[in-house]
Chains A and B, each alone.
Chain A
């Protein structure tokens, strides 16, 4: 089946720890995105990538990093510099500017 997978579904982070969220798509989409969702705030863009080996900061990139070594994969690292990481993280991909398709999400919690 074609689609977007995110893992893990739940992730726990200790103080000072970096954690990496996985996002994989087999839709052959060029563009991929990471969003953060907090209650009552909608979705906010963290990073996006339009092609392999290229990515751009979104609106709230501080404390996060990404890589795009393969078209299918766009992992997000939440670094220790992100002081309030508890949120629901959504990955998306798109074939062009008209529509984005979303993965099932990863919920990150701080221990």
Chain B
């Protein structure tokens, strides 16, 4: 079965500090992995995704993530936090196909706070 664990429901960093949001997954099929960001009362916006190929994936707004198969991890990083990065972040993994359909399985989310 597929599952996603996001370590830390709340993360707080100073402006300019490194952002590290952790995501571990389990998957019975080759994983497709995703990070989405959600601002208050808005939908989810895709930050980046890993499907195949290069394991270091770059996304929007200066974020990147590295797929590590041996650690079953897909942690999200940004070298220098900005106040506008304050939001909730969701990691997701593709589920096993069923009837030709691949569902997305989401983690519980990590709320990132950025303080001056």
**Residues of A bordering B, CB below 8 Å:** 4, 6, 31, 40-43, 45, 48, 50, 56, 58, 88, 90, 92, 97-105, 107
Contacts and interface: CB of A to CB of B under 8 A. Distances in A.
Given A40-B109, A56-B101, A101 B42 contact: no
B45 interface: yes
A99 B90 CA distance: 14
A100 B34 CA distance: 10
A102 B44 CA distance: 6
Contacts of A97: 32, 94, 97, 101-102
25 contacts: A4-B43, A6-B43, A31-B101, A40-B108, A42-B109, A45-B104, A48-B103, A50-B100, A50-B101, A56-B99, A56-B101, A58-B103, A88-B41, A92-B44, A97-B32, A97-B94, A97-B97, A97-B102, A98-B32, A98-B94, A99-B34, A102-B36, A104-B42, A105-B41, A105-B42
Contacts of B44: 43, 90, 92, 102
B41 A42 contact: no
Contacts, number: 54
* B contacts with A: majority SS: loop
Given A40-B9, A98-B49, A98-B51, 4 more contacts: A6-B43, A50-B101, A98-B32, A104-B43
Interface of B: 9, 32, 34, 36, 41-46, 49, 51, 90, 94, 97, 99-104, 106-109
